[in-house]
Amino acid sequence: METPKCTKDIFGSNVFNDAVMRERLPKNIYKAFVQARKGNQEMTPAVADVIANAMKDWAIEKGATHYCHWFQPMTGLTAEKHDAFINPTADGRTILEFGGKELIKGEPDASSFPSGGLRATFEARGYTAWDITSPAFIREIGKNITLYIPCAFCSYTGMVLDKKTPLLRSMEALSKQAVRVLKVLGNTEVKSVIATLGPEQEYFLVDRKFFEKRLDLLLAGRTLFGAPSPRGQEMEDHYFGSLNERVATYMNEVNNELWKLGVSAKTQHNEVAPAQYELAPIFSTVNVATDHNQLTMDVMQKVALRHGFVCLLHEKPFAGVNGSGKHNNWSVCTDTGVNLLEPGNTPHDNMVFLVFLCAVIRGVDKYSTMLRAAVATPGNDHRLGANEAPPAIVSIFLGDQLTDIFEQLASGKAKSSKQGSDMKVGVTTLPPLPKDTTDRNRTSPFAFTGNKFEFRMVGSSQSTAGPMFVLNTIVADVLCEMADQLEKSKNINADVQKLLQKIVKEHSRIVFNGDNYSEDWVAEAEKRGLPNIRNCVDSIKTIAQPEHVKLFGRHNVLSKVELHAREEILLENYAKTLNIEAGAMLNIGRRQILPAVMEYAGLVADSLNTISDAGGSCTTQKKLLTKMTDLIDRLNDGLENLAESIAKAKAISNVEKKADAFKDKVVPAMVEVRAASDELEALVDAEIWPLPTYAQMLYVR
């Protein structure tokens, strides 16, 4: 057996990080690299050559045979094309080569990635460009060992085709505007700021033997049929419960794989629903955290198979129990190491904090529709507003202390901060606990949590890039407005106070500390004029509206054409996803469920005939048979209607109308089919029912 290594030695062992670079690169090259990474100078071909060579040597020592540009197309997943280092020589041997050119630029055929009309299929060229802000790493997949180079991805004409480029651009925009604001507030030391992200990843594990018998899980990642298990999550005994051994062993292997990749997997626990879990890393810059989250999702899925599990990342794999989200903890930090959302002990006189806090509040209220659209995915439609996750209404939780200060700001100057106290537990042997100034609120979609905001609407399967580039940009936009005003100010203190007062007055409607799951809030939010866009199709349609075009254009994050392309890609994605789900449903309904229920109805009929021939009364058989045949008719009618509505939706060529048809016609048809089938499931002989049940999938491990 291999001697287990200490975590300290494992961590980052497959990453071409700063420690490795310092060791392997000439000093001047490393320095030039760091300057380029800070954006202070361009990476020259000569520097790239030296780095490429060092990277190659390092990778080959670790057993790598290939390298790949690793990028994030609009599918929301990652893409990679591997090339071997080999380069044959004239004498029939080979040398292993990898130069600056290969490191900096790749040229994959882009024609099969979603482009939203940005690139005609015959113009196949796409480029990948090395993202020097995210370190290269080595992955071992099966026996294949490959050097991965994180990259951005664009078309031949320079149009953005990926999720990373707008994220990087939004980080620059945020940095630029934040530095301007800090400067007028008297801080001239700070050269740049970075947005930070800690994404909490929720997921389900189901036994592979059940998964394989469920075409819906296999093709759509969620169950399309399934009567509720008699035991759901009502005992509230899974959340933070003692870990199951097989699951714990799985988590251990996931952690080790992630640590090797430099992903700081930190927290793990059972989540609310049975078979649901969470993994949270320590936060890092939004760019690296996004790359790491992509790796995390991939590693979690691959490792699961080794343990006889399948890891489900869908937002709603099972009806009736909680779905999965990905809480995005976000903050802004200076290059001098100060968290700008750290309130300190007396937030009321922490001007920098109040300015940044108010910038976020104004940004979120002003662009709540765009923020909502950043989490508009078909999977999330089953989650948002379903009384287990935040509703589709964007609001902000500030907590007692900050709400009090926020209200003080409305009347001019904030003069005091409510203080936390010690909490006595009432047992002399237990220490007094310092009490936080504010309780938690689990129902808020956008909550201030101590020294960061937590954006909780993000879906579990989503790339964090989208929600994060939107958040960065809307905050950058408000900071830009602020800087424009304050740079002209003759009396900063007075003008800041006026500015904050105005923000508080205009945007207090977005602050809500109560229960976001309650019906009352929906009514209250409507009174306050807060948008409530309940489904993703309507939300996606808001993406390219004029104020969003201006917003992203102003900060060079996305051009008008690029934004329109995104809207189109997302609508197409919706239609395609629903088409797969509906198709899988038809297939299962016709080829598995109908035959099974007819078989059982036949058995009941046989029993009825046999027993009534023998003179029995057969009341039960008659009742059951009537009930079954009614439901079978209902199921069959439902399936016919579903088939028809799919065909109609597919025939529509306009992408908006097509998405609408799937939402308005196919989705209700699917609901009806499921209702009939789930009722039948509760009647049919367990031996005959063709699909593993909810109870098996949620409780067997």
Query: Which residues form the interface with Mg ion (CB under 5 A)?
Result: 200
**Two tokens at 509?**
């409607």
Least distance from ligand ADP to the Cβ atom of residue 517, Å: 17
User: Running DSSP on this structure, what letter comes out for residue 3?
Assistant: P
333 forms bridges with which residues in the sheet? 194, 339
CB–CB of 167/46 below 8 Å? no
Binding residues for ligand ADP, per CB under 6 A? Answer: 196-198, 200, 267, 280-283, 329-331, 339, 451-452
Q: CB nearer to ligand ADP: give 154 or 295.
A: 295
Q: CB nearer to Mg ion: give 251 or 511.
A: 251
**DSSP 3-state assignment of 129?**
strand
Q: CB nearer to ligand ADP: give 12 or 281.
A: 281
User: If contact means CB under 5 to 8 A according to the sort of partner, which of ligand ADP, Mg ion, none does residue 339 touch?
Assistant: ligand ADP
List CB contacts of 242: < 8 A, sequence separation 6 or more: none
Closest residue to ligand ADP, judged by C-beta, is 198
- Phi and psi dihedrals of 390, rounded to 5? -55, 150
Q: CB nearer to ligand ADP: give 280 or 565.
A: 280
Least distance from ligand ADP to the Cβ atom of residue 451, Å: 6
User: If contact means CB under 5 to 8 A according to the sort of partner, which of ligand ADP, Mg ion, none does residue 451 touch?
Assistant: ligand ADP
Rounded Cα distance, 370 and 539, in Å: 8
Least distance from ligand ADP to the Cβ atom of residue 409, Å: 23
User: If contact means CB under 5 to 8 A according to the sort of partner, which of Mg ion, ligand ADP, none does residue 201 touch?
Assistant: none
Q: CB nearer to ligand ADP: give 294 or 329.
A: 329
Least distance from ligand ADP to the Cβ atom of residue 183, Å: 22
Per-residue DSSP letters for 279-314?
EEEPPEEHHHHHHHHHHHHHHHHHHHHHTTEEEE--
Least distance from ligand ADP to the Cβ atom of residue 522, Å: 25
Q: CB nearer to ligand ADP: give 319 or 333.
A: 333
Within 13 Å of residue 148, how many CA atoms lie on the same side as its CB?
24
Q: CB nearer to ligand ADP: give 47 or 195.
A: 195
**DSSP 3-state assignment of 106?**
strand
User: If contact means CB under 5 to 8 A according to the sort of partner, which of Mg ion, ligand ADP, none does residue 334 touch?
Assistant: none
Closest residue to Mg ion, judged by C-beta, is 200
User: If contact means CB under 5 to 8 A according to the sort of partner, which of ligand ADP, Mg ion, none does residue 87 touch?
Assistant: none
Span between the terminal Cα atoms of the chain, in Å: 26
CB–CB of 515/594 below 8 Å? no
Rounded Cα distance, 450 and 442, in Å: 14
Least distance from Mg ion to the Cβ atom of residue 280, Å: 5
**Two tokens at 83?**
């090339």
Q: CB nearer to ligand ADP: give 364 or 593.
A: 364
Q: CB nearer to Mg ion: give 413 or 440.
A: 440
Q: CB nearer to Mg ion: give 114 or 281.
A: 281
H or E stretch covering 196: strand 193-207
Least distance from Mg ion to the Cβ atom of residue 515, Å: 20
Phi-psi region of 387 (alpha: psi -120 to 50; beta: other; left: phi over 0): left
User: If contact means CB under 5 to 8 A according to the sort of partner, which of Mg ion, ligand ADP, none does residue 197 touch?
Assistant: ligand ADP
User: If contact means CB under 5 to 8 A according to the sort of partner, which of Mg ion, ligand ADP, none does residue 53 touch?
Assistant: none
- Phi and psi dihedrals of 635, rounded to 5? -65, -45
322: exposed, middle or buried (Cβ count in 10 Å: 0-12, 13-18, 19+): buried
User: Running DSSP on this structure, what letter comes out for residue 44?
Assistant: P
447 forms bridges with which residues in the sheet? 397, 454
60: exposed, middle or buried (Cβ count in 10 Å: 0-12, 13-18, 19+): middle
Q: CB nearer to ligand ADP: give 233 or 329.
A: 329
H or E stretch covering 171: helix 164-184
Q: CB nearer to ligand ADP: give 344 or 595.
A: 344
Q: CB nearer to ligand ADP: give 111 or 451.
A: 451
User: If contact means CB under 5 to 8 A according to the sort of partner, which of Mg ion, ligand ADP, none does residue 196 touch?
Assistant: ligand ADP
Least distance from ligand ADP to the Cβ atom of residue 265, Å: 10
CB–CB of 200/449 below 8 Å? no
Least distance from ligand ADP to the Cβ atom of residue 434, Å: 17
CB–CB of 486/345 below 8 Å? no
User: If contact means CB under 5 to 8 A according to the sort of partner, which of Mg ion, ligand ADP, none does residue 329 touch?
Assistant: ligand ADP
Rounded Cα distance, 276 and 295, in Å: 19
Phi-psi region of 221 (alpha: psi -120 to 50; beta: other; left: phi over 0): left
Nearest alpha-carbon partner for 674 in 589, 575, 617, 559: 589
Rounded Cα distance, 631 and 683, in Å: 10
Least distance from ligand ADP to the Cβ atom of residue 654, Å: 41
Least distance from ligand ADP to the Cβ atom of residue 246, Å: 23
CB–CB of 470/284 below 8 Å? no
Rounded Cα distance, 311 and 324, in Å: 12
Least distance from ligand ADP to the Cβ atom of residue 453, Å: 9
User: If contact means CB under 5 to 8 A according to the sort of partner, which of Mg ion, ligand ADP, none does residue 149 touch?
Assistant: none
User: If contact means CB under 5 to 8 A according to the sort of partner, which of Mg ion, ligand ADP, none does residue 330 touch?
Assistant: ligand ADP
**DSSP 3-state assignment of 586?**
helix
Least distance from Mg ion to the Cβ atom of residue 276, Å: 12
User: If contact means CB under 5 to 8 A according to the sort of partner, which of ligand ADP, Mg ion, none does residue 401 touch?
Assistant: none
